[in-house]
Amino acid sequence: MFLSPKVVYESISELFENGYPSGKLQFLVKEIARNFGVDSVNLAIYEANKDILRIIAGEKGLISKKINKEPLNSSSIIEIEEKRYFVYLLKFEGNLIGALFSSSEIDYQKYKEYIEEFSNLLYHSYNLFMTKMKMQRMEKLLEITDVFRKVESLDDLPVQFVKLMFKHIPSEVIFIAKKEKEDYTIVYSIPDKYKETLIPGFSDFSLNVFSESPKIIVKPNIENNFLNIKLKSLITVPFRLNGEKDKYWLVFINKTHGSGYIPEKSYEDFDLDIVVDAVKRFKLTHSRLTFFQKLKDEIEKLKNLKIEHEKLIENQKEQLRKMNMVHYISQAMRISYDPKEVLKILLIGLTSGRTLGFNRALLLLKDAEKEVLVGKAWLGPANDKEVIREWKKANQRAMRYGDVVQYLREESMSLTLDNVLTRKIKDKIFPYKSHRFLERAVVRRKIVHVNKNVIYETNTPDFLLPLLESDEFVIVPLIGKNDTIGVVVLDNRFSRHPITTADIEILRIISDSAGLAIENAINYAELREKTLNLEKQKYVIEYLKDFSELVLQNLSAAVVVLDKEGKITELNRKAESYFKITKEQILGHKLEAFGNQFLEIKNLAYQVLKEKKEVKLRDYKIKMFDQDKYFDISISPLWDSERIMLRGTIITFEDVTERVLLERERKKQEKLAALGEMSARVVHELRNPISVLGGFIKRLEKYSDDETKRKRYLKIISDEIVRLENIVSEILEFSKDKRVLNYEEFNINELISEVFLLHEDRIKSKKIMFEYKTDSENMEIYADKSRIKQVLINLIQNAIDETPEGGKIEIKVKKDLKSIKVEIWNQGNPIPSEVLEKIFTPFFTTKIQGTGLGLSICKKIIEEEHGGRIWVDPRGNGNAFIFELPIKKSEEV
């Protein structure tokens, strides 16, 4: 009777799983004995690693007896515990797998098939069981992988790892040791108590255990093991972690298991495989976590970098804005001629939140004689309480303007410098010599940046620090043409914003441009004042003349009295000295006795006698003793005391040569200054056409053979030359002093039509409504036609530029007895009052293109050349430019 495979498999599995031969195995052996017809049979299996046979079941239950297989072959006899047994080897495909020990001999031939069948079943059951075990171990590995995948913290990893190992390969001790120099330290262990144990490098233990490759050590011969454990078997696996130099060992000591049958009590290869594999996974996980940690760090860094970068861009934007503001501040200062206004613009520009936004600006100007600085103005809130209120108000004002230049100018006009701060420093003396900050700024013209560190460097008593009460400030010298004219001290006392190097760079531009602008304005103001004083003197003279003839002699003016015949009857001392003649010599003579240049005055004196009306001549030039002298002359009728009888004429000559020359000098200065200030604009205006010309001339040379290109380039070149000529002639026009005028009689209506035709295309393309009104068809005038045409071209051109699409232009020509008035009105934004003042100033322009000379040339032509008048009148929904010309040449009026 054959055995059931199920019974064999179950018996074998039970043995291995429980470690005890079960009843089933016992039953199996009895069944075999019964089959053989013998008393008893023992079953042994072959343990290949030890090359022994081990009895696992038989008449005495579990005996676990080892039997050397060497002398055995089938049908030999062996003695076990003093009892003889017949041996029948169990083989599968020729390999030994076990043996049956029978108490009596059996007929082998009879049972051969039975024994072979049993061998087969045993082999397959064993294999099936081992496969199942492998699968279970595979599952363990999977579990290990799974655990590793779930670990997220690098610190946690070794602990989890060791715990896991302990679970799957139960051992007395498991630890990770790390090599440190020559010795080894346990970094993790189960049980925990071995942690931080030091194992000397040259101990027996180290030499055996800390090997170069993974291995199993069975029954090692190690005397001192530092752990106080009897060593039975060990697994040791060396490893390194990715990117680390340190060497580690994972060590298992003494496999633990229940009692009973275990094919292998010490660690076996499979355990080692699992450990090696687990270490690999551990290393991978460690790398992954390290990588993630690095990635996290990198992301963090990147995030910070991004924030920094954004900050940088913000800063750059802010600097760009500030630089533009510097440009506007300089522009606003340049177009102002009043020194006070220039200073105010500077202070507002430095402190307004719209522009550079410093909290406070303290202005000290240098007194050149005393070599000290004098307090002038201090702009900013007086204390913390004022800050919010003042800045809010200032911001509201600032935001009303689209144009920064306009804002600065209007704000400066409305600003009064009688605030709390200014009262603290007004006209106070600030000696700069040997002052540690001010001297450097004033004498060496350096921007001095003072911060906490610098302040507390020395304990020198100082007047500036207690005044400012700030930790950080910057002293900016205002540098004029030859010398420092003063300093501005800036701080952020309230906002406490640090002053950056970029701020300092921006202030450097201010330092250069502000000084020049202030100096220019001061020069103009001085010149103006001189001229004004002279004017005042003149009024005094007229006053005295009206009320007393007695003071004649003491007058600063020369007085000559003529009788009805034109003979000189009286002259004062001044006249004697002016004309270098004595009273006695000249009395009774006619006026031409002074020289032919007095003929015109003589004739005028006749006219005065006739019309009984005073005539005044201003800045009248008389050449005397080879010198051009200028006089204000008045020729008045001389009545007797009752004002009934006309007795003659009284002529006063006031020498205004000095004033005329000064005025001329002033004009020249203004012109030069304007030229200088605005030369950048002219350079820009000229540079473009010149560059374009040069560029295309080069291209022309290069492509001289190409007909189409040649034509195109020549056209561009000729256009640019015309443009260049126009700019150059405008500039020449402006700087030229005198011009010979070609007077002729012409009808101004015809001239206007002519100019209109020039602009017709543009008027149509902008859909401008054009209205023309004239008092009469015939508007004859005596003037230089080409010059007046120039004026009309400029004014109509401007009108078209300023009129919006579909807007309106109106021209009116009016006439009275002496003059013709031309009014050119266009729809458009009314010109603001502060622009009105400057509109005829050379180089002033609100446009990007052009020299800014157009209107100043018109003024020159109308007023200086033709003795007329030109002005602007913003009205309706636009502006009217009006000029008035005498019908006849001015001298003939």
Residue type at position 390: E
Which residues lie closer than 8 Å to 4 by C-beta, 6 or more apart? none
Task: Report how far residue 616's alpha carbon sits from residue 542's, in angstroms, rounded to the nearest whole number.
Answer: 12
* For other proteins, the closer CB: 403 or 529: 403
Task: Report how far residue 201's alpha carbon sits from residue 375's, in angstroms, rounded to the nearest whole number.
Answer: 82
- Choose, by CB under 8 A, the member of 160, 254, 688, 774 that binds other proteins: 688
Residue type at position 343: L
Stretch that binds other proteins, among 8-16, 33-41, 192-200, 689-697 (CB under 8 A): 689-697
- Choose, by CB under 8 A, the member of 389, 684, 739, 773 that binds other proteins: 684
Task: Report how far residue 870's alpha carbon sits from residue 822's, in angstroms, rounded to the nearest whole number.
Answer: 10
* For other proteins, the closer CB: 222 or 502: 502
> What are phi and psi for residue 41, nearest 5 degrees?
-135, 135
563 binds other proteins (CB under 8 A): no
- Choose, by CB under 8 A, the member of 263, 695, 832, 874 that binds other proteins: 695
* For other proteins, the closer CB: 401 or 639: 401
690 binds other proteins (CB under 8 A): yes
> What are phi and psi for residue 853, nearest 5 degrees?
-105, -15
720 binds other proteins (CB under 8 A): yes
* For other proteins, the closer CB: 254 or 319: 319
- Choose, by CB under 8 A, the member of 295, 320, 599, 714 that binds other proteins: 320
Task: Report how far residue 786's alpha carbon sits from residue 38's, in angstroms, rounded to the nearest whole number.
Answer: 153
Identify whether the C-beta of residue 415 lies closer than 8 Å to the C-beta of residue 344. yes
Which residues lie closer than 8 Å to 394 by C-beta, 6 or more apart? 352, 353
> What are phi and psi for residue 113, nearest 5 degrees?
-65, -40
CB 514, min distance to other proteins, A: 16
Exposure class string for 794-819: b at 16+ Cβ within 10 A, else e: bbbbbbbebbeeebbbbbbbbbeeeb
Stretch that binds other proteins, among 337-345, 363-371, 570-578, 697-705 (CB under 8 A): 697-705
Given the structure tokens 């600065």, which residue do they identify? 408
CB 705, min distance to other proteins, A: 16
* For other proteins, the closer CB: 167 or 687: 687
Stretch that binds other proteins, among 378-386, 815-823, 843-851, 883-891 (CB under 8 A): 843-851
SS3 state of residue 845: coil
CB 874, min distance to other proteins, A: 23
Stretch that binds other proteins, among 532-540, 602-610, 691-699, 729-737 (CB under 8 A): 691-699
| CA distances (Å), origin 93, targets 69, 119, 184, 661 | 18, 10, 50, 137
Q: Exposure of 299 by Cβ count < 10 A (0-12 exposed, 13-18 middle, 19+ buried)?
A: exposed
719 binds other proteins (CB under 8 A): yes
* For other proteins, the closer CB: 238 or 515: 515
Angle at 219 between CA 218 and CA 223, to 5 degrees: 130
> What are phi and psi for residue 848, nearest 5 degrees?
-80, -45
Question: Please, which contacts does 228-231 make with residues 24 or more away whose CB atoms are closer than 8 Å?
Answer: 229/172, 229/173, 229/253, 229/254, 230/254
Identify whether the C-beta of residue 282 lies closer than 8 Å to the C-beta of residue 148. yes
By CB under 8 A, the residues from 322 to 341 that bind other proteins are: 323-324
**Bond from prior residue into 191 cis (ω within 30 degrees of 0):** yes
Identify whether the C-beta of residue 225 lies closer than 8 Å to the C-beta of residue 241. no
Stretch that binds other proteins, among 13-21, 623-631, 716-724, 794-802 (CB under 8 A): 716-724
- Choose, by CB under 8 A, the member of 127, 691, 718, 778 that binds other proteins: 691
* For other proteins, the closer CB: 214 or 695: 695
843 binds other proteins (CB under 8 A): no
| CA distances (Å), origin 522, targets 183, 529, 660 | 87, 11, 21
* For other proteins, the closer CB: 317 or 481: 317
SS3 state of residue 111: helix
By CB under 8 A, the residues from 225 to 254 that bind other proteins are: none
CB 407, min distance to other proteins, A: 17
SS3 state of residue 230: coil
CB 848, min distance to other proteins, A: 4
* For other proteins, the closer CB: 198 or 721: 721
* For other proteins, the closer CB: 239 or 703: 703
Task: Report how far residue 678's alpha carbon sits from residue 657's, in angstroms, rounded to the nearest whole number.
Answer: 31
135 binds other proteins (CB under 8 A): no
SS3 state of residue 141: helix
CB 337, min distance to other proteins, A: 24
- Count how many Cα atoms sit within 13 Å of the Cα of residue 72 in the half-sphere of its side chain: 24
* For other proteins, the closer CB: 637 or 850: 850
728 binds other proteins (CB under 8 A): no
* For other proteins, the closer CB: 634 or 851: 851
CB 684, min distance to other proteins, A: 4
Residue type at position 552: L
700 binds other proteins (CB under 8 A): no
Residue type at position 459: N
680 binds other proteins (CB under 8 A): yes
- Stretch 275-314: interaction string toward other proteins, x if CB under 8 A: ----------------------------------x---x-
Token pair of 213, please? 């490759």
Stretch that binds other proteins, among 118-126, 251-259, 694-702, 787-795 (CB under 8 A): 694-702
804 binds other proteins (CB under 8 A): no
- Stretch 484-513: interaction string toward other proteins, x if CB under 8 A: ---------------------xx-xx----
Token pair of 845, please? 């322009």
CB 297, min distance to other proteins, A: 25
CB 347, min distance to other proteins, A: 22
* For other proteins, the closer CB: 159 or 675: 675
849 binds other proteins (CB under 8 A): yes
Q: Under rule CB under 8 A, how many of the chain's residues touch other proteins?
A: 33
Stretch that binds other proteins, among 273-281, 693-701, 746-754, 828-836 (CB under 8 A): 693-701
* For other proteins, the closer CB: 304 or 849: 849
By CB under 8 A, the residues from 639 to 678 that bind other proteins are: none
- Quick one: how far is CA 21 from the chain centroid? 86
Task: Report how far residue 39's alpha carbon sits from residue 66's, in angstroms, rounded to the nearest whole number.
Answer: 22
Task: Report how far residue 775's alpha carbon sits from residue 315's, in angstroms, rounded to the nearest whole number.
Answer: 63
* For other proteins, the closer CB: 75 or 691: 691
Task: Report how far residue 642's alpha carbon sits from residue 427's, in angstroms, rounded to the nearest whole number.
Answer: 58
Task: Report how far residue 303's alpha carbon sits from residue 469's, in angstroms, rounded to the nearest whole number.
Answer: 39
* For other proteins, the closer CB: 664 or 684: 684
Exposure class string for 650-663: b at 16+ Cβ within 10 A, else e: bbbbbbbbebbebb
CB 852, min distance to other proteins, A: 14
Identify whether the C-beta of residue 556 lies closer than 8 Å to the C-beta of residue 550. no
Task: Report how far residue 644's alpha carbon sits from residue 621's, in angstroms, rounded to the nearest whole number.
Answer: 34
CB 576, min distance to other proteins, A: 60
Stretch that binds other proteins, among 96-104, 330-338, 417-425, 714-722 (CB under 8 A): 714-722
What are the residues binding other proteins (CB under 8 A)? 309, 313, 316-317, 319-320, 323-324, 505-506, 508-509, 680, 683-684, 687-688, 690-699, 716, 719-720, 847-849
